[in-house]
Amino acid sequence: MNIAWFILITFAVVGGQAYIYHKWGLLRIEYTRSFNEKAVFEGEEVEMIDEISNKKLLPIPWLRLESKISANLQFQKTSATDNEINSGDYHRTLFSLMPYQKVKRRQFLTCTKRGHYQFKTVSLSTGDAFGISERFTSVSSTAEIIVYPRLVSMENIPLPAHSWLGDIIVRRWIIEDPFLISGVRDYAYGDPLNSVNWKATARTNRLQVSKKDYSADHHLMIYINFNQTEDFRIPIVDEALMEEALSYAASIAQYAIANGIATGFGCNAYFDELDKKPIRIEPENSKQQLTYLFETMAKVKIGTSTFIDFFLQEDVDRPLEGTDILLITAIMTDGMKETIKRLESQGNSVEVLTLQSEILLKKANEKVG
C-alpha cells in the first residue's frame, strides 16, 4: 500500500508541476535583444546583449531561446558557452531563472559581410523539470545592426592614372570665382582683357590684372553601375565584384568629405525587392551626410533596377551641371560613352573606375568561343 501511495503521489506531483509549467511557465517572461553599437564596418566586432527576466514567483528550470541569425554574423568561440548551439542561420541558447531574476548574456559577433541585419522575432520555449510538457511562444525583437562596407586605403583603389582624386583633391575642386578678387598681379600672356585692372595699371605704370580668389563650388557624385552585361535583366553573376565596388565608393566618400568636398552617391540597384527604384543622394558636406552614405551603401541589395544608360540620362535631362562624377563600372558600352559625352558637354567632368572580374572575363571568352 505504501508503494502504491508513493507511486500515486509521485504521478500527482509530476503531473501537477507539468500542468503548472504548461499554464504559467511563460507568464510574465520578458525578453529584449540589443547591440552595443548601431553600426560597424565589415570585419569589425559587435556585442549582442540578450536580457531575459522572470517576473513571477514560479522558478523556471529551463528556458530555450531560438532565433534566426545570419551566418554573416559569426559568433566568436570565446563567447560561446555550453548552453549555446549555433547551426547555420539559427542560434539556440538555454537559460535557468529563479523567481524575479533577470539574466543578461553578452556575446560577441564578427560582422563578416556588409548589410542591414534585423531581428524581428525570437522563439521562447519552456516546460517542467521532467520534460513532460513544453510550451512555445514568439516575442517581437526590434534589434538591428547595420554593417557598413569595408573601407580600404586610397592607394589600393584602382583609380585612373591621372585622376583628380589624388593628393591634390582639394585643389581639384577649388576653381576661380570671377566675383571674388584677392589682389592684382602683372599681366601675363593669355590673360583676357576684361581682367585688366586699369586703376592698378595707372598706379604702377605696368599692365596689371585682377587676381581672382577661389571658391569650392564643385560637387562629387559617386555612381556604381550594377549592370554586368548589356541586359540589366540578367542576374548579377559576380556579387563579390559589386561588394568591392561598394567598398571603393564608401572609402572615396569618406576621403572626399574629410577633405571638405560635398559628396553624393547613386546606383542602379535598389533597397526594396517589391519597389525596385534606383538610388540617388544629392551631394552634401557633413558628418551626417557621410553616415547617411554609409547606411545607404550598407542597405543596397545586389541587383539591378534599370540600365545604367537610363540612370545617367536622368542627369542629362535635369540638367546636371558643374559636378564631378566618378563612375565605378565593370562594363563600358557605346551608349554609356555617348551619355558621358553629353554630361561633359554640360560642364561636368566624368572619370571611370573600371572593375576587373575574372568571372565576367571568363564568361565573355566562352561567349566568343
Look-up: residue for cell 541587383?
303
Is residue 14 domain-resident? no
Task: Say yes or no: 127 and 227 in one domain.
Answer: no
**What is the chain's percent helix, strand, coil content, to nearest 5?**
30, 35, 35
pLDDT tens for each residue of 318-364: 999 889 999 999 999 999 999 999 999 998 989 999 998 777 666 66
Rounded Cα distance, 285 and 170, in Å: 13
CB-based contact 103:97 (threshold 8 Å):
yes
Is residue 21 domain-resident? no
Task: Say yes or no: 49 and 112 in one domain.
Answer: yes
Q: Is the dihedral of CA 307, 308, 314, 317 positive or negative?
A: negative
Rounded Cα distance, 298 and 18, in Å: 47
* 22-28: average pLDDT: 84
* Cell numbers at 339, concatenated: 551619355
End-of-domain residue from the set 148, 183, 206: 148
pLDDT at position 141 is: 84
Task: Say yes or no: 207 and 113 in one domain.
Answer: no
pLDDT tens for each residue of 260-308: 889 999 999 999 888 889 999 999 999 999 999 999 999 999 999 999 9
The residues with which 353 forms a beta bridge, in sequence order, are 328
Total domains, the chain: 3
With a pLDDT cut of 90, the percent of the chain lying above it is: 48
Query: Which ranges of the chain does DSSP label H, i.e. alpha helix?
Result: 2-24, 169-173, 198-204, 239-258, 287-299, 308-317, 334-345, 358-368
Task: Say yes or no: 251 and 359 in one domain.
Answer: yes
Task: Say yes or no: 126 and 166 in one domain.
Answer: no
Mean pLDDT, the chain, rounded, equals: 83
Rounded Cα distance, 19 and 12, in Å: 10
Task: Say yes or no: 164 and 299 in one domain.
Answer: yes
Is residue 166 domain-resident? yes
Domain CATH for 221:
3.40.50.410
SS3 of residue 254 by DSSP: helix
Q: How many residues does the chain have?
A: 369
pLDDT tens for each residue of 158-200: 887 656 665 434 444 444 444 444 566 776 666 666 677 777 7
Task: Say yes or no: 207 and 233 in one domain.
Answer: no
Q: What is the DSSP letter of 99?
A: T
pLDDT over threshold 60, residue 50: yes
> pTM higher than 0.85, yes or no?
no
* Among 74-78, 114-118, 295-299, 321-325, the least confident range: 74-78
Task: Say yes or no: 223 and 356 in one domain.
Answer: yes
Look-up: residue for cell 585643389?
171
Is residue 197 domain-resident? yes
Task: Say yes or no: 300 and 191 in one domain.
Answer: no
Task: Say yes or no: 81 and 118 in one domain.
Answer: yes
Phi/psi of residue 326, nearest 5 degrees:
-110, 115
Domain CATH for 136:
2.60.40.1530
Is residue 337 domain-resident? yes
Is residue 52 domain-resident? yes
Q: What is the DSSP letter of 59?
A: -
Is residue 11 domain-resident? no
pLDDT at position 211 is: 59
Is residue 5 domain-resident? no
Q: Phi/psi zone of residue 100: left (φ > 0), alpha (ψ -120 to 50 degrees), beta?
A: left
CA distances from 244 to 70, 74, 108 (A): 21, 21, 26
Nearest residue to 268 via CA among 331, 359, 220: 331
Look-up: residue for cell 575574372?
358
- Chain-centroid distance, C-alpha 304: 17
Structural domain that includes position 102? 26-148
Q: What is the DSSP letter of 56?
A: S
Task: Say yes or no: 35 and 70 in one domain.
Answer: yes
Amino acid letter, 89 = D
Rounded Cα distance, 52 and 32, in Å: 7
Q: What is the DSSP letter of 188?
A: -
Task: Say yes or no: 97 and 166 in one domain.
Answer: no
